[in-house]
Amino acid sequence: MEELMRIVEKARNGDSFAFATLLSKYDALLKSMAKKYSDMCGASEEQYDDFLQESKMAFYNSVLTYNASCEVTFGAYAKVCVRNRLVSCVRTFNSQKRQKRSDSKDNYDLENPQETLLARELEKKLFSLAQDCLSAYERKIFTFYIRGERAKEISQKIGKSERSVNNAIYRIKVKLKQVTENDT
C-alpha cells in the first residue's frame, strides 16, 4: 500500500514512468469499465476507443486529485472518478444520438436496430432502478434530466426553484450510484 502511494505521489509530481506504472496496473479495470459503458449505449468499436481514452483521462485526473489522508483507497477513488466520467460520456453520447434523430426527417435513416434495442433496454433498466429508489419528485426530475435537459430548463417547466432541482439531481445521482455499485 505504501509503495502504491509513493508511485501515486511520483506520478502527481510529473514522473511519467510512475504514471505509466499506475496505468499498467489499472489497465484491465479501465478497459473493462470503458467496454461496459460503451456497450450500454451501443457504441461502435471506434467509439469504444473514445470511452477508453476518457477513462484514461479520468484516471490521470484521479492521480492528480487523490488525497492520501482520506480514508478511501486510491483504487476505489480512481474507480469512482472513472465511473463518473464514463456516465457523463454515456449521457453525452445518448444526447448526441437524440439530436441526430431529431435533425433527421426520417428517424430510421441513422439508426441501427441493434443500437436502438440496446438504448431502449438501457433506458428501461435506468427507469426501473429509478422507480425502485427515487421519490416521486426525483423521478419527475430524472425524466427530464435523462432527456438531456438542464436544471434551469427543468425548474421552469415544473415551477420549482433551480436550487431545488439541482438538489434533486444530486440526490438522484447519489442514489443511482449506490444502486449501480451494488449491481456491478
Contact between residue 151 and residue 169 where contact means Cβ atoms under 8 Å apart: yes
Helical spans, DSSP H, in 104-161: 113-133, 136-146, 151-158
Query: CA-to-CA distance for 80 and 6, rounded, in angstroms?
Result: 21
The predicted model scores a pTM of 0.53
Residues of the chain under the 70 pLDDT cut: 100-112, 182-184
- pLDDT, one tens digit per residue, over 106-143 is 444 455 677 777 777 777 777 777 778 888 899 899 88
Closest CA to 145 of 133, 132, 162: 162
User: What count of other Cβ atoms lies within 10 Å of the Cβ of residue 119?
Assistant: 19
Name the percent of the chain lying above pLDDT 90.
Answer: 32
Query: CA-to-CA distance for 138 and 167, rounded, in angstroms?
Result: 10
DSSP character for 72? S
CA atoms within 13 A on the CB side of 75: 7
End-to-end CA gap in the chain: 24
Alpha carbon of residue 119 to chain centroid: 15
Query: CA-to-CA distance for 19 and 86, rounded, in angstroms?
Result: 21
User: What count of other Cβ atoms lies within 10 Å of the Cβ of residue 171?
Assistant: 16
∠ CA 156-160-161, rounded to 5°: 90
Query: CA-to-CA distance for 122 and 78, rounded, in angstroms?
Result: 25
Spell out the domains of the chain, with CATH numbers in brackets. Answer: 1-107 (1.10.1740.10), 112-184 (1.10.10.10)
What is the model's pLDDT at position 108?
43
What is the model's pLDDT at position 103?
56
Contact between residue 98 and residue 106 where contact means Cβ atoms under 8 Å apart: no
